[in-house]
Amino acid sequence: MSPQTISEKILSAHIGHDVYAGDVIICPVDRVIGTDASSPMTIDYFEQMGGATLFDPAKVMFAFDHYAPAVTESTRGFHARVREFAGRFGAELHDEGSGISFQRAAELGRVLPGDVVIGADSHTVTCGALNLFAIGVGSSDLAAAMITGKIWLRVPESIKVVITGRLIAGVSAKDVALQLVREIGAEGADYQTLEFHGEGIASLSMDDRLVLCNLAVEAGAKAAIFPCDAITREYLEPRSSKLGASVGADADARYSGIVAVDLSAMTPRVALPHAPTNVVPIEQAIGTPVQMVFIGTCTGGRVNDFHDALRVLELAGRSIFPGVQLVLTPASREVADILDSDGTFARFRAMGATITATGCGACCGTSGVIPGDNVNVLSTANRNFKARMGNASANIYLASPIACAAAAAAGYIVDPRSIMTARTAN
Amino acid sequence: MSFELRGRARRLGDDINTDYIIASTRKRDTLDTAVLQRYLLETVDPAFATSVRAGDIIVAGRNFGCGSAMEIAATVILAAGINVVVAQSFARTFYRNAINNGLIPVVCDTGAIKEGDAIAVRLIGGASNVHVEALELTFVGAPLPAIMLEILNAGGLAPYMRANAGFLDSVSGPP
Ligand code: SF4
């Protein structure tokens, strides 16, 4: 047996013999996840395939996130159809208000180390932060997996991302992720796994790891995987009676590339319109006026993100710059509950922020606030394609929650380190 | 599967994401591809949908179909009468979705192909090539993995699943 990457090990364990990058396999899956955006078509394919039952209803889950709340007749119809289907076949349904599909899956302990997870949402890859192999697929692959419990896969090559150092104040995992996407390029990780290593990962919280895995998709990655460590177990223990089968890479595993990241040297970044690879140091965007700031999504809508943002706004004088619309969308009910009970949302509300229902919100223009004409938006999301938020004349900039909060206070893009260091020095 | 398909090249650039192929906001309103094809590629070129003719062939640069995994991006292209997309490279989710719906993705060097060029795409088994008449040049495509060919031969993943009552266990050949 030759040495293996984490992806090779997980996939080998699932099919019962050793496989390596390039092999094509029919692989059993442990969890199948559909959203309200992808599942209506999944049901169509399921019917066309002659589906009569789910391979294992306990392993199939649906979540309403892209169209939550359903504000149109069409989306109410999609929801009704998926509700009926989930009820008929006994699958788990997370209705409006529950949160983003794979975020719920992680929070509820539905995905565990060593698992193979597929979701009809490209950012399902995010779950790899929990030491598992998670990939995004379309509706037809999802339907086939719901029927057979299997998916065909090409075992991916892996790029080793070696992380050292520690983040400094004012810099966050989002900055690291944006810079990685820039360095690797929009398709630099196509068909491959980003496998994270290095002593620096011990300083990254689960929320940080979820962000890094989430943005891997913007570099084309098929999967992104962290090792299992004390932070993974601490995250899982209150959520699941089982801890899964943690998987590490062999010492001499073969990688298609190595990328080194020194957290200590990282500085705030911004992705300029209209591509997430269009990343520059924040210094190059300072002074850009913003009229809308959006903190939310599967990239930047978790507890840490709102805590970071609140800290910055409070250091900056507890006020939102006049004319700036600050919109907050928690990624899940768990996130919303924590921020309600610890007072975070109350403090944001007192400053005049708009706090919306949980889910995808304004991310792709389907259920949240739509930016006005020619508005500059600074957002914690992962994609800033033209028209992504529902208005082709808006300019979407991407940054960390810290930088977003700093811009909400200033009315334009600023270096958040200036706020944080100036105030700490006082 | 073997065929030759002739058509007019519709030239697109690099990194055409699925939201550009069909906007999430359009897909929210209907999943009827006959309606959605009116908005095909509207963000990139508002005139595209009205100028498209059945039998046209999309010729793109790198990373075609990046971004969201939404499968409707593949089926809207088919609904517009386009059966082949030739690109320098594809994002993996779009590539799978294309195969699963019988939209043929051909990976080859597209740099020399221009808008409106008459081209012929040939598929012989897993091998493919693209002939550009004006240039009298033929570009060789990357081979299709066996499993993808089986799905394409069946006409897509749904007919494949129906015909085989699941996945065939024998997965053959290099990808
Ligand atoms: S928050 Fe945005 S990127 Fe994340 S799943 Fe929802 S629409 Fe997709």
What angle do the packed helices A39-48 and B157-164 form, to 10 degrees?
Answer: 40
Residues in CB range of A381: below 8 A, 6 or more apart: A294, A296, A297, A299, A300, A363, A388, A396, A398
Q: How far does residue A55's CA lie from ligand 1's centre (Å)?
A: 27
Question: What are the backbone angles phi and psi of residue A401, rounded to the nearest 5°?
Answer: -60, -35
Q: Measured from the CA of A297, which atom of ligand 1 is nearest? A: 1
Output the six-digit token pair for A396: 């979407």
Task: Return the residue whose CA atom lies nearest to atom 2 of ligand 1.
Answer: A363
Q: How many residues does chain A have?
A: 426
How far, in Å, CA of B73 to CA of B21, rounded? 6
Select from A48, A74, A136 the Cβ nearest to the Cβ of B29: A74
Distance from CA of A270 to the nearest CA of B (A): 19
Which pLDDT score is estimated for B171?
54
Q: How far does residue A34's CA lie from ligand 1's centre (Å)?
A: 13
Which helix (DSSP H) or strand (DSSP E) does residue A84 occupy? helix A73-89
- Mean of the per-residue pLDDT values of chain B: 94
Tell me the pLDDT band of B172, cut-offs 50, 70 and 90: very low
Question: What are the backbone angles phi and psi of residue A105, rounded to the nearest 5°?
Answer: -60, -40
- A144, A51 contact by CB (below 8 A): no
Residues in CB range of B101: below 8 A, 6 or more apart: A140, B71, B74, B75, B78, B156, B157
CA A230 remoteness from chain centre:
21
pLDDT in tens, chain A (426 residues): 799 999 999 999 999 999 999 999 999 999 999 999 999 999 999 999 999 999 999 999 999 999 999 999 999 999 999 999 999 999 999 999 999 999 999 999 999 999 999 999 999 999 999 999 999 999 999 999 999 999 999 999 999 999 999 999 999 999 999 999 999 999 999 999 999 999 999 999 999 999 999 999 999 999 999 999 999 999 999 999 999 999 999 999 999 999 999 999 999 999 999 999 999 999 999 999 999 999 999 999 999 999 999 999 999 999 999 999 999 999 999 999 999 999 999 999 999 999 999 999 999 999 989 999 999 999 999 999 999 999 999 999 999 999 999 999 999 999 999 988 754 444
How far, in Å, CA of A143 to CA of B31, rounded? 17
In tens, the pLDDT along B82-129 reads: 999 999 999 999 999 999 999 999 999 999 999 999 999 999 988 999
Residues facing residue A133 across a β-bridge: A116
Output the six-digit token pair for A289: 């006026």
What is the DSSP-derived secondary structure letter of residue A123?
G
The rounded radius of gyration (Å) of the Cα atoms in chain B is 16
Q: A137 and B17: CB-CB below 8 Å? A: no
Output the six-digit token pair for B145: 């993995």
Q: Are strands A92-94 and A60-63 parallel, antiparallel or unpaired?
A: parallel
How far, in Å, CA of B127 to CA of B130, rounded? 11
Q: How far does residue A297's CA lie from ligand 1's centre (Å)?
A: 6
Q: Which residue has the tokens 């012989």?
A: B124
Q: B100 and A141: CB-CB below 8 Å? A: yes
Which pLDDT score is estimated for A291?
98
Q: Which of A297, A332, A366 to mutate to test the pocket of ligand 1 (most atoms within 8 A of CB)?
A: A297
With contacts defined as CB-CB under 8 Å, which chain B residues touch A26? 167, 169, 171
- A27, B171 contact by CB (below 8 A): no
3-state secondary structure of A355: strand
Which pLDDT score is estimated for B21?
98
Distance from CA of A46 to the nearest CA of B (A): 8
What 3 state SS string does chain B have? CEEEEEEEEEECCCCCEHHHHCCHHHHHHCCCHHHHHHHCCCCCCCCHHHHCCCCCEEEECCCECECCCCCHHHHHHHHCCCCEEEECCECHHHHHHHHHCCCEEEECCCCCCCCCCEEEEEEECCEEEEEECCCCEEEECCCCCHHHHHHHHHCCHHHHHHHHCCCCCCCCCCC
With contacts defined as CB-CB under 8 Å, which chain B residues touch A148? 161, 166-167
Question: What are the backbone angles phi and psi of residue A5, rounded to the nearest 5°?
Answer: -80, 175
With contacts defined as CB-CB under 8 Å, which chain B residues touch A67? 28
Q: What is the ipTM of this complex?
A: 0.96
Alpha helices in A196-319 (DSSP H): 206-215, 230-236, 297-300, 303-315
Side chain identity, residue A136: G
Q: A387 and B23: CB-CB below 8 Å? A: yes
With contacts defined as CB-CB under 8 Å, which chain B residues touch A44? 31
Render A129-154 in DSSP notation, one character per residue.
GGSSEEEE--HHHHHHHHHHSEEEEE
Output the six-digit token pair for A328: 């907050």
Render A50-76 in DSSP notation, one character per residue.
T--S-S-GGGEEEE--TTSS--SHHHH
**Cβ of A22: how many Cβ atoms within 10 Å?**
12
Tell me the pLDDT band of B173, cut-offs 50, 70 and 90: very low
What angle do the packed helices A73-89 and A39-48 form, to 10 degrees?
Answer: 50
With contacts defined as CB-CB under 8 Å, which chain A residues touch B62? 186-187
Q: B171 and A388: CB-CB below 8 Å? A: no
Q: How far does residue A120's CA lie from ligand 1's centre (Å)?
A: 12
Residues in CB range of A211: below 8 A, 6 or more apart: A172, A173, A174, A177, A299, A300
Select from A50, A191, A392 the Cβ nearest to the Cβ of B162: A50
How far, in Å, CA of A385 to CA of B52, rounded? 23
Q: In what order do the strands lie in the sheet with B57-60?
A: B104-107, B84-87, B57-60, B2-11, B118-124, B127-132, B137-140
Q: How far does residue A124's CA lie from ligand 1's centre (Å)?
A: 10
Which helix (DSSP H) or strand (DSSP E) does residue A96 occupy? none
Give me the torsion for CA of A120, A125, A129, A133, rounded to 10°.
Answer: 90
Tell me the pLDDT band of B170, cut-offs 50, 70 and 90: low
Q: In what order do the strands lie in the sheet with A92-94?
A: A92-94, A60-63, A31-35, A116-119, A133-136
Q: Which residue has the tokens 């949908």?
A: B49
Which pLDDT score is estimated for B1?
75
Q: Which residue from A416, A421, A418, A396 is spatially nearest to A406, judged by alpha carbons?
A: A416
Q: How far does residue A66's CA lie from ligand 1's centre (Å)?
A: 7
Q: A22 and B174: CB-CB below 8 Å? A: yes
Q: Using a 6 Å CB cutoff, which residues line ligand 1?
A: A 65-66, 100, 121, 123, 297-298, 360, 363-364, 381-382
Q: How many residues does chain B have?
A: 175
Which pLDDT score is estimated for B125?
85
How far, in Å, CA of B88 to CA of B38, rounded? 26
With contacts defined as CB-CB under 8 Å, which chain B residues touch A74? 28-30
Q: Provide, rounded to the nearest whole percent, the portion of chain B with pLDDT above 90.
A: 87
How far, in Å, CA of A237 to CA of A220, rounded? 32
Select from A22, A41, A220 the Cβ nearest to the Cβ of B31: A41
Residues A140, A145, A150, A156, CA torsion sign = positive
Q: Measured from the CA of A382, which atom of ligand 1 is nearest? A: 3
How far, in Å, CA of A243 to CA of A415, rounded? 40
Q: Which of A65, A101, A215, A302 to mutate to test the pocket of ligand 1 (most atoms within 8 A of CB)?
A: A65
CB contacts < 8 A (A, B):
145
